[in-house]
Amino acid sequence: MKTSRKNSVLPVTLLAGMVLLAGAVGLAHGQKGDAPKSSAAPLAHIANGMGRDPQPMVTAQPHALPAGAPAPGADAVSRGAYLARAGDCVACHTAPGGQPFAGGLPMSSPIGTIYSSNITPDARTGIGGYSFEDFDRAVRHGVAKGKGSLYPAMPYPSYARVSEQDMKDLFAYFLSLPPVEHAVPGNDIPWPLSMRWPLAVWRGMFAPDADKVQLKQAPAIAAQGTPEADVKARGAYLVEGLGHCGACHTPRAFTMQEKGLAAADAQFLAGGATMDGWVAKSLRTGGSDGLARWSEEDIVALLKTGRNRHSAVFGGMADVVSHSTQHMTDGDLHAIAAYLKALPADGAASTYTYNTATAEALWKGNDSQRGAALYVDSCAACHRTDGLGYQEVFPALAGNSAVLSADPHNLVAIILNGHQVPATATRPSTFTMPAFGWRLNDAQVADLASFVRSSWGNASAAVSADQVAKQRKSTPHGN
Ligand code: HEC
Ligand code: HEC
Ligand code: HEC
C-alpha cells in the first residue's frame, strides 16, 4: 500500500513541475533578447535566444506588408490583413532575416528553445493542410493540428476573445499568402519536458474556454467603424483580444498565467515583470506616472507615431508600434485610448505640476545640486535645462512617466543602454538617445537618475548606485 501511495505522489509532483515549466515558456512573449537572469522575475530570462547568439533583431525593420484600414465593404482577405496587424502575428512568426510568417523565431526558455510555427499556407511545412476548424483550434484554443497543445508563448488565452467572423477573415488572409516552404526546427527541449501533455493541463487550468468567451461578448464589438456608443467595447475587444496587450502589461502568477485577462480583473494591465530588460508599466495607474494626465489624443499619438508630448516609445513597445498599432485606423486607436482611459485607476490621483526652480538654477549656472553638472554635460543638449525637451523629437523629462515611475528600472536602463525611437509611417525620422553605460559609473548614473527624478516638479525617490550596479550586471544590452 505504502509503495503505491508513493508512486502516486511522484506523478503529481512531476505534473506540477512540468505544468510550471511549460507555463514558463508563456513568458517568452515579445522578448527580443536575453533578458536579465538576476532580475526581479525569477523566470524572466526567457528570451528568443538572440542574446546567446547575437543576430539582427527580427523586428528592427517593419516588414513590408499591406498596411492601413480595409475600405468599407472590403473583402475577407483585406479585412484579415488588417486583423493580422492588430494581432501582431508577424512579430513572432518571422525569423531574423526570414520570410514574413514563415516561422522559426527562436524563443529560449529555462527548459530549452521553442520555435514559432510557419503559418504560411505551405502544405508540408506550414498551415496549407489546415481547415478553418484546425486554424481556429490553434489560434483561439491553443491546440495545433497533429501537434497538440501549444506553449502559451502563442497568446491564445487573449486570442480566445477574437470573434468567429474575424477568425474567418484572418484565415482567408493567411491562405492568400504565398506559401513558403520552411521547416521550422523542432523544439530543443529535452524529454520529459518535451512532452506536450502538461500543456493541456496548463490550458485547462489557466486558459479561458474560447467558446464561453464568445458567448459572453456582444456582436457589435467586432465591427469596423463602430458607432460612438460602442467605442469602449471595441477598445476592450482589441486590447483584451487581438492586441494581447496584457501579455506584457499584466503581472503573471508563479505558474505564468496572466493574473487577469479583462478590465474587470484588478490586475489586468497593472504592470508586468522585466522582459528583455524593460518593464511594461501599469496602464491603470492614476498617479503622476500614469495615463491620468494623458488625453485620449496623447494615447492615440503614441500608438500611431511612437511619440507624443509626454514620451517616446522604447523597449518592447517600440516593436508593438512598428509592427502593429501604427497600421491601425484612427477609429480603432481611439477605441483603445477610450478603453484605457476608462480603466479603474490603481493609484492615487496625479499631483504633478511643473516647477521652474531647477531650470532657473541651471540658467544661473548653479549646478551645485547632486547630478546637476552631469545633467548639463550629458543630457541638457537634447532634453534641455528646463527638462521640456523638444516636442516629438527629444521627450520631456519633466512629468515623464518613465522618469516618475516608482520602479526606476526603465529610467536606469535607457541611461545605460540608450534607445532609438522607431520610424513610423507618419513620423519617418528616428532620433537616438545615446548609451551612457560605457562612460558613466554606477554612482554617476544614480546621481543623474536621482536628479531627473527630483527636478522640474518631478518628485520620485532617489536611485542608489547599488541599484544601478545590479541592473548593469543583468542588462541584456551589453555595456
Ligand atoms: C507572442 C508571440 C506570438 C504571437 C503574437 C502570435 N503567435 Fe502564433 N505561435 C507562437 C508560437 C511560439 C507558436 C508555436 C508554439 C508551440 O510550438 O507550442 C505559435 C503557433 C501558432 C499556430 C500553430 C501552427 C502549428 O501547427 O504549429 C498558429 C496557427 C498560429 N500560431 C497563428 C497565429 C496568428 C494567426 C497570430 C496573430 C493573430 C499569431 N499566431 C500570433 C507565437 C506567437
Ligand atoms: C542626443 C540627444 C539625447 C541625449 C544627449 C540624451 N537623450 Fe535621453 N532621449 C533622447 C531620445 C531621442 C529619446 C527617445 C528614445 C526612445 O524613445 O526610443 C530619449 C529618451 C529618454 C528617456 C525616456 C523618456 C521617454 O519618454 O522616452 C529618458 C528618461 C532620458 N532620455 C534621459 C536622458 C538622460 C538622463 C540623459 C543624459 C545622461 C539623456 N537622456 C541624454 C535623446 C537624448
Ligand atoms: C512586447 C511587450 C508589449 C506589448 C505586447 C505591449 N506593450 Fe505597451 N509597453 C511595453 C513597454 C516595455 C512599455 C514601456 C516603455 C514605453 O513607455 O515606451 C510600454 C508602454 C506603453 C504605454 C506608455 C505608458 C506610459 O505611461 O508611458 C502605453 C500607452 C502602452 N504601452 C500601451 C499598450 C497597448 C495599448 C498595447 C496593446 C495594443 C501594448 N501596450 C502592448 C511593452 C509592451
Please, what are the domains in the chain? 15-342 (no CATH), 357-474 (1.10.760.10)
Which ligand has the nearest atom to the CA of 309? 2
What is the pTM for the complete model shown? Answer: 0.90
- Cα separation, 150 vs 170, in Å, equals 19
- Cα separation, 445 vs 468, in Å, equals 7
Percent residues over pLDDT 70 in the chain: 81
**Alpha carbon of 249 to ligand 3 centroid (Å):** 7
**Alpha carbon of 30 to ligand 1 centroid (Å):** 12
Beta strand segments in 46-129, E: 106-109, 112-115
* 184-189 mean pLDDT: 86
Amino acid at 376: V
CB atoms within 10 A of CB 167: 21
More confident residue, 339 or 38: 339
Distance of CA 112 to the CA centre of its chain: 22
Amino acid at 243: G
Beta strand segments in 143-214, E: 143-144, 148-149
94, 127, 154, 163: which to mutate for ligand 1, most atoms within 8 A of CB? Answer: 154
Amino acid at 106: P
248, 252, 278: which to mutate for ligand 3, most atoms within 8 A of CB? Answer: 248
pLDDT class of 221 with cuts at 50, 70, 90: low
**Alpha carbon of 383 to ligand 2 centroid (Å):** 7
pLDDT class of 229 with cuts at 50, 70, 90: low
Closest to 82 measured CA to CA, from 98, 65, 99, 94:
65
Q: Is 91 in the pocket of ligand 3 (CB under 6 A)?
A: no
What pLDDT is stored for residue 274 in this prediction?
87
**Alpha carbon of 230 to ligand 1 centroid (Å):** 29
What pLDDT is stored for residue 220 in this prediction?
56
pLDDT class of 99 with cuts at 50, 70, 90: very high
- Cα separation, 119 vs 125, in Å, equals 9
Distance of CA 122 to the CA centre of its chain: 29
**Alpha carbon of 317 to ligand 2 centroid (Å):** 16
**Alpha carbon of 442 to ligand 2 centroid (Å):** 18
**Alpha carbon of 59 to ligand 2 centroid (Å):** 21
* 212-233 mean pLDDT: 70
Closest to 53 measured CA to CA, from 31, 30, 34:
34
User: Which of 49-53, 105-109, 133-137, 448-452 shows the lowest per-residue confidence on average (mean pLDDT)?
Assistant: 49-53
Q: Which three cell numbers stand for residue 240?
A: 483584451
321, 358, 433: which to mutate for ligand 2, most atoms within 8 A of CB? Answer: 433
161, 249, 343: which to mutate for ligand 3, most atoms within 8 A of CB? Answer: 249
Given a contact cutoff of 8 angstroms between Cβ atoms, the answer to whether 167 and 222 are in contact is: no
* 42-66 mean pLDDT: 33
pLDDT surpassing 50 at residue 2: no
DSSP reduced 3-state for 157:
helix
Which residue ranges have their beta carbon within 6 Å of ligand 2?
311-314, 378-379, 381-383, 394-395, 397, 400, 402-403, 411, 414-415, 419-421, 431-434, 436, 448, 452
Q: Is 92 in the pocket of ligand 1 (CB under 6 A)?
A: yes
Instruction: Please tell me the residue having the least CA distance from ligand 2 atom 5.
Output: 379
What pLDDT is stored for residue 46 in this prediction?
29
* 125-152 mean pLDDT: 96
DSSP reduced 3-state for 188:
strand
Q: Where do we find the cell 551589453?
A: 478
pLDDT surpassing 50 at residue 31: no
Instruction: Please tell me the residue having the least CA distance from ligand 2 atom 37.
Output: 379
pLDDT surpassing 70 at residue 449: yes
Per-residue pLDDT tens over the stretch 8-25 = 444 445 555 666 665 555
Q: Which helix (H) or strand (E) holds 9?
A: helix 2-24
Q: Where do we find the cell 508630448?
A: 309
pLDDT class of 427 with cuts at 50, 70, 90: very high
What pLDDT is stored for residue 228 in this prediction?
52
Given a contact cutoff of 8 angstroms between Cβ atoms, the answer to whether 452 and 403 are in contact is: yes
What pLDDT is stored for residue 15 in this prediction?
54
Q: Is 306 in the pocket of ligand 3 (CB under 6 A)?
A: no
What pLDDT is stored for residue 255 in this prediction?
84
CB atoms within 10 A of CB 239: 25
* 342-370 mean pLDDT: 90
Cα–Cα distances (Å) from 412 to 272, 308, 320, 366, 436, in that order, read: 17, 21, 22, 25, 10
What pLDDT is stored for residue 71 in this prediction?
67
Cα–Cα distances (Å) from 184 to 33, 124, 367, 411, in that order, read: 20, 11, 57, 37
What pLDDT is stored for residue 63 in this prediction?
46
Which ligand has the nearest atom to the CA of 135? 1
What pLDDT is stored for residue 108 in this prediction?
72
* 204-225 mean pLDDT: 78
**Alpha carbon of 46 to ligand 1 centroid (Å):** 17
Given a contact cutoff of 8 angstroms between Cβ atoms, the answer to whether 367 and 357 are in contact is: no
What is the torsional sign of CA 85, 91, 95, 96?
positive
93, 177, 202: which to mutate for ligand 1, most atoms within 8 A of CB? Answer: 93
Burial of 260 (0-12, 13-18, 19+ CB in 10 A): middle
What pLDDT is stored for residue 159 in this prediction?
97
Which ligand has the nearest atom to the CA of 319? 3
Any idea what the Cα angle at residue 411 is, between residues 410 and 414, rounded to 5°? 80
* 465-475 mean pLDDT: 92
**Alpha carbon of 117 to ligand 3 centroid (Å):** 25
What pLDDT is stored for residue 276 in this prediction?
82
pLDDT class of 69 with cuts at 50, 70, 90: low
pLDDT surpassing 50 at residue 144: yes
What pLDDT is stored for residue 25 in this prediction?
52
Q: Which three cell numbers stand for residue 79?
A: 479585412
- Cα separation, 63 vs 65, in Å, equals 6
**Alpha carbon of 154 to ligand 3 centroid (Å):** 18
Residue 433, beta-bridge partner list: 419
What pLDDT is stored for residue 41 in this prediction?
26
pLDDT surpassing 70 at residue 370: yes
Q: Is 170 in the pocket of ligand 1 (CB under 6 A)?
A: yes
CB atoms within 10 A of CB 229: 8
pLDDT class of 210 with cuts at 50, 70, 90: very high
What pLDDT is stored for residue 10 in this prediction?
41
pLDDT surpassing 50 at residue 40: no
pLDDT surpassing 90 at residue 478: no
pLDDT surpassing 60 at residue 117: yes
What pLDDT is stored for residue 285 in this prediction?
77
- 102 contacts: CB under 8 Å, gap ≥ 6: 93, 94, 95, 118, 120, 126, 180, 182
Given a contact cutoff of 8 angstroms between Cβ atoms, the answer to whether 421 and 431 are in contact is: yes
More confident residue, 158 or 65: 158
pLDDT surpassing 50 at residue 417: yes
Q: Which three cell numbers stand for residue 208?
A: 479561458
Beta strand segments in 102-247, E: 106-109, 112-115, 143-144, 148-149
Q: Which three cell numbers stand for residue 19?
A: 505544468
Instruction: Please tell me the residue having the least CA distance from ligand 3 atom 13.
Output: 280
pLDDT class of 44 with cuts at 50, 70, 90: very low
Percent residues over pLDDT 90 in the chain: 67
Nearest-10 Cα torsion for 57, 428, 332, 315: 30
Cα–Cα distances (Å) from 446 to 153, 237, 436, 472, in that order, read: 35, 41, 12, 12
Of ligand 3's atoms, which has the minimum distance to the CA of residue 291? 26
